[in-house]
Amino acid sequence: MSEIPNSYPEFLPQGPHSWTELRDAVLNNLGETINLIPLLPLDSIDLESLETVAPGTYRLYQRPDFDLLRELPLFAEGKREVGVFCIYGNWMITLGDGLRIDLPDTLKSIERDRLFQLDMHTHPGTDPGTEQPSDEDIHKLNSTIDGYQYIFNGKGILEYHLPHQMPGGFTDPIDVGRAWEYWVVQELGLSQEEYEEVGAWEVKRQFFEHFFGLKQIPWEDRSKIEAILDKGIH
């Protein structure tokens, strides 16, 4: 995915380089890096016009409004994910080319540096998986300043945060899969039969609620959702 429209900037590492070298260059030139992201080429934003834009990450002129966010899970008939995030007051949108979103390497290199004021993405569809984060979503909890992440789906916004602790003594969100297995086998002691009887989605929901504070904020609670969006201006 191309993120640099013209020439390659001198402050980024030239030739073969490591993620650490890229990260250090981005952190030392964050404002310049953000300015490399192209502006969304639309005068007004709605679902229909967004579908004319190529997949990628774009800067926005202003914060997306509530009504647009409410519609985004329907983007491309629910066949493409959308990410919305804010870094130092700079609002951006990532249009996925399927049911995943991919940041430019420059921003991906700083995802674990707690620099994002707000980080949200859609979960299109209606199956139970839209109502809880994936393990990959949990891996990204270190992206935000306050440790919170958000997913918007058909019912509203899911809120979850960095855990105070996880089963098995695990502390890094990257280990959520191992913590989950420890919780099911060692702490709950569920047999395969019991696990299937309760249902995988239900057990996983309880896990996320207990350790990550997972909760659904309905679209009807507009004031609470607007307060979350205001994180991008503080």
- The answer to whether residue 36 sits within a structural domain is yes
- The answer to whether residue 4 sits within a structural domain is no
Domain that holds residue 93: 19-163+214-233
Mean pLDDT of the chain: 90
- Under DSSP, is residue 233 helix (H, G, I), strand (E, B) or coil? helix
- The answer to whether residue 131 sits within a structural domain is yes
- The answer to whether residue 173 sits within a structural domain is no
pLDDT the model gives residue 127: 72
pLDDT value at 234 more than 70: no
What letter would DSSP give residue 219? T
DSSP states of 144-204 as a string? BTTSEEEEE-SSEEEEEE--S--GGG--SGGGHHHHHHHIIIIIS---HHHHHHH-HHHHH
pLDDT tier for residue 195 given thresholds of 50, 70 and 90: confident
Around Cβ 142, how many Cβ atoms within 10 Å? 18
CA 131/CA 152 separation, integer angstroms: 9
- The answer to whether residue 8 sits within a structural domain is no
CA 70/CA 229 separation, integer angstroms: 13
Q: Could you read off the pLDDT of 78-129 as tens digits, one per residue? A: 889 999 999 989 999 999 998 888 899 999 999 999 999 999 999 987 776 7
Could you give the number of structural domains in the chain? 1
